[in-house]
Structure 1
C-alpha cells in the first residue's frame, strides 16, 4: 500500500529483457535509505519487488503481466520514474490509498501553465469512465492527484510546482503514456452495489 506522495524521481540506468519479462536497474537516493531485499517500491505507480540493490541503485523484475498493463515495455535507459516506498502502519496518510496496481495506461492530452501552477489533461480510458469523478482521487504514474475537472472524454488535474519538480510530470508532454490507478474505494463501492 502506498499514499501517492512521491519521494523522488529516479533514473533508469539499465534495461535487460529476460525470458518472461524485463529487468530494470534504477538509480535513487531517498528510497534506498533502509531498503531491504524483497521490499516493495512504487515505480511510477506499479508496486515492484526489490531483487537487488547497492548504494546507488536497485533492481526490479517486471513479469509479462506487468508489462501488458504498463508502459514499462517502452521504458529506456535515462528515463525518469517516480519512486515511493511502501506505507508504514504508523505513518501519516497524506495522499490517498494507492495499491500500486496499475489499472491501465492513459495518455497526456494537454499541459498548460496557469500562473505558478500547471494543469495536465489526460484521456479517460473507456473501461474506466465510471471511476474518474469530479474531485475524486486518481494515481497518475504513482502520484496522488485530485480530478479538478471531468470532461466528456478527458479529465484535468492541477499540479503545484513542488509536485511537478519532484516527479516525472515535468518531462511529460501530450501523447506521452501515463499509468492510471483509479481509486480503490470506487471499485469497492461498485462491487457492493452489484451484489
Structure 2
C-alpha cells in the first residue's frame, strides 16, 4: 500500500532482459535504507527489491507489467519516481494507492500558468476506467487531483515543488505515463454494475 507521495527519484543504471522478464537496476538516495524483498513503487508500479549492491538496487518486472505500464520504455539514465510502502500509523498525505497500474495515458498538453503547470492526458476509454472532477488519480505514482475531467481525458495542476521533485519536469507532448485510478471509485463502479 502506498500514498502517492513521491519520496525521491532514482536513475536507471542498467536494464537486463532475461527471457520475458526485465531486471531494472536503479541508483537512489534511499538504496541504503532498502532491504531485499521490500516493495517499492517505480513510476507507480509496485516491484520487489531482489538485489542490493552499494548505492544500487535491482527489481524485476514481468511481461504483464511491461505490457501494461511505461516501464517497457525505460532507458539507461532515465529518472523514475520512487515511493516505499507506507508504514502502518503514518499519515495518509495522498490517497490509497495500490501500486497496480490500470493503464497508460499520453500527455497531450503542457501549459505553464505563472509558476504552476497544467498537464493534460488522454487514455483509452475502452478499458472502462474513469475520472471525476476533484477526484484522485495517480500519475507515475504521484497522487494528484483531477481537473477538467472528460470522457477519456483529464488535467492536473502541478505546483513547483512537485514539478521539481518528480518526473513531471521531463513530461512533454506524447510522453507516456502510468495511471492508477482511484481504488474506491473502481469498487463503486463495479458494485453499481450489479445493482438492481
For the criterion TM > 0.5, the same-fold answer is: yes
Q: Which residue of 1 aligns with 2:12?
A: 12
Spell out the pairing of 1:35-114 with structure 2 (5 A cutoff). 35-114=34-113
Q: Which residue of 2 aligns with 1:181?
A: 180
Deviation at 1:72, TM superposition (A): 1.4
The more displaced of 142-151 and 127-136 is: 127-136
Gaps of 5+ in 2: none
TM-score, normalising length: structure 2: 0.95
Q: Secondary structure at the match of 1:15?
A: strand
Q: How many residues align?
A: 194
Measured in 2, the distance between the counterparts of 1:3 and 1:128 equals 24
TM-score, normalising length: structure 1: 0.95
Going from structure 1 to structure 2, the CA distance change for 1:33 and 1:127 (only over 3 Å counts) comes to: farther
Going from structure 1 to structure 2, the CA distance change for 1:28 and 1:151 (only over 3 Å counts) comes to: same
Is the 8 Å Cα contact of residues 110 and 120 (structure 1) preserved in structure 2? yes
Measured in 1, the distance between the counterparts of 2:182 and 2:172 equals 24
Q: Tell me the C-alpha RMSD between the 2 structures.
A: 1.3
Gaps of 5+ in 1: none
Measured in 2, the distance between the counterparts of 1:142 and 1:136 equals 15
